[in-house]
Amino acid sequence: MKTILLPVDFSENSWNAVFSTLKLFDKTACHFILLHAYSMSPGKLPGDPEQQKLWQVLENRKREATDEMEQMLGYLEREHRHPKHRISGTCVPGELISCIQAVLEAEPVDLIAIGTQGATGAEQLFMGSNAVRIMRRVRTRPTLIVPAGFDFQRLRHVLFPTDYLHAFEPYQLKLLKELVLQWRATLHIVYVASEFELKPSQQDHRELLESRLPGINCRFEEVPIKGHLKDALLGHAHKIGAEMIALVRHRHSLLEAVVKEPVVKRLAFETTMPLLVLPELS
């Protein structure tokens, strides 16, 4: 059974991420853990610093969060009961990343899935969002970033960009392979570059990657980069009708270049499809 952690704030985006993840793993036995972290922000506390008043604020937040979690769990139990799925929830005080790390130490989490603002959402967006803080600081688990308004129906095409500079280990590809096989999807392995002649080491990595994807319908494609990498990725994703973009995390690699691009702060918000960030090489 897979364990999937879903950080939620009870917003419409959180609900959408939960629904999308439930449908994505419809064919898989899963335990979904909903996590809500509520923190004591000094800037939002009453002016009176006395301990009693601070305690009361925390109790109020705890009660409100618990009520909302119970409502969410109740709705999912009534409307989305599934013989292969178990759903639980917890509300904990603290900073989100610290709370996630605590769950990772206690549970065998296979994936973290979180919703995020869309292109029409607030402008503080990508680099400051919880989704990217998780992507940057939780580097040993796959992270699924679900854009606002995404309506998952099926998985037919997955875009998987690479520069062939690194060999992918089996555990890095595990979740991607499972999803593609379960949905009988096509995996579009895309080399985005200004020129396409591979060095011997890159050719070796390409052949190794192909050997580690047995039984998968793979298409090896080349996409010329004429401007920003983000635009090339999204343009090709829309061209092939992709329902997901998958990236393997490596230092000094394609993903690192994407994160450093100034305009990529809109990547997860301009796309209409989820972004699956696979774990870093340990």
Say whether pLDDT at 1 is over 80.
yes
Q: Give the whole-angstrom CA distance, residue 104 versus residue 264.
A: 28
CA-CA distances (angstroms) from residue 230 to 62, 81, 127, 143, 259? 40, 38, 15, 19, 10
What is the per-residue pLDDT for 131? 82
Which ranges of the chain would DSSP assign to H, the alpha helix?
12-24, 51-79, 96-106, 125-128, 130-137, 170-183, 200-211, 229-240, 254-260, 267-270
Arithmetic mean of pLDDT, 125-146: 78
Average pLDDT of the segment spanning 197-222: 96
Q: What is the pLDDT of residue 120?
A: 43
271 or 132, higher pLDDT: 132
Angle between helices 130-137 and 96-106 (to 10 degrees): 50
Verify that 18 and 140 share a domain, yes or no.
yes
Q: Provide the pLDDT confidence category of residue 194 given band limits of 50, 70 and 90.
A: confident
Assigned domain for 170 exists: yes
Q: Do 46 and 111 belong together in one domain?
A: yes
C-alpha 71/C-alpha 252 separation (Å) is 44
Do the beta carbons of residue 136 and residue 170 sit within 8 Å?
Answer: no
C-alpha–C-alpha distance, residues 23 and 151, integer Å: 10
> How many domains would you assign to the chain?
2
For residues 38 and 57, what is the distance between their CA atoms, to the nearest angstrom?
11
The distance of Cα 122 from the centroid of its chain, to the nearest Å, equals: 19
- Of 121, 5, 29, 43, which Cα lies nearest the Cα of 83? 29
Domain boundary among 103, 129, 147: 147
- Specify whether 189 is located in the same domain as 108: no
Tell me what the mean pLDDT of segment 239-244 comes to: 96
pLDDT of residue 137: 86
Regarding whether 117 and 169 lie in a shared domain, the answer is no
CB of 158 closer than 8 Å to CB of 130:
no
* CA-wise closest residue to 138 among 281, 242, 280, 32: 280
pLDDT value of position 117: 67
Q: State residue 132's pLDDT score.
A: 76
Q: What residue type is assigned to position 92 of the chain? A: V
pLDDT at residue 236 in the model: 94
Question: Any idea which residue has 């959402």 for tokens?
Answer: 121
* 108 shares a domain with 175: no
Q: State whether 166 and 250 are in the same domain.
A: yes
Tell me the one-letter amino acid at 202. Q
Q: What is the mean pLDDT of residues 197-220?
A: 96
Top mean-pLDDT range of 130-134, 146-150, 178-182? 178-182
Closest CA to 277 of 101, 131, 167, 116: 131
Last residue of a domain, one of 117, 147, 177: 147
* pLDDT for 118 beyond 90: no
The per-residue pLDDT for 257 is: 59
Highest mean pLDDT among 90-94, 149-153, 207-211, 230-234: 207-211
Residue 87 CB neighbour total at 10 angstroms? 20
Q: Is the pLDDT of residue 155 over 90?
A: yes
**Has residue 255 got a pLDDT over 60?**
no
pLDDT at 107 over 80: yes
Same domain membership, residue 170 and residue 127 = no
- CA 88 distance to own-chain centroid: 20
Q: Taking 60 as the threshold, does the pLDDT of residue 49 lie above it? A: yes
Asked if pLDDT for residue 123 goes beyond 60, the answer is no
Checking if the pLDDT of 138 tops 70, the result is: yes
Q: How does the average pLDDT of the chain come out, rounded?
A: 86
| Cβ contact 145:258 at 8 Å | no
The answer to whether residues 142 and 12 belong to one domain is: yes
Structural domain that includes position 45 = 2-147
Question: What is the CATH number for 236?
Answer: 3.40.50.620
Q: Give the least confident one: 42-46, 57-61, 107-111.
A: 42-46
pTM of the entire structure? 0.88
* Whole-number pLDDT of residue 139: 87
Residue 111 sits in the same domain as residue 164: no
In a domain, 152, yes or no: no
Task: Identify whether residues 121 and 8 lie together within a single domain.
Answer: yes
Which residues does 252 contact at the CB level (< 8 Å), separation at least 6? Answer: 165
pLDDT at 121 > cutoff 60: no
Over residues 201-207, the mean pLDDT reads 96
Residues 143 and 161 in one domain: no
Whether residue 65 is found in the same domain as residue 183: no
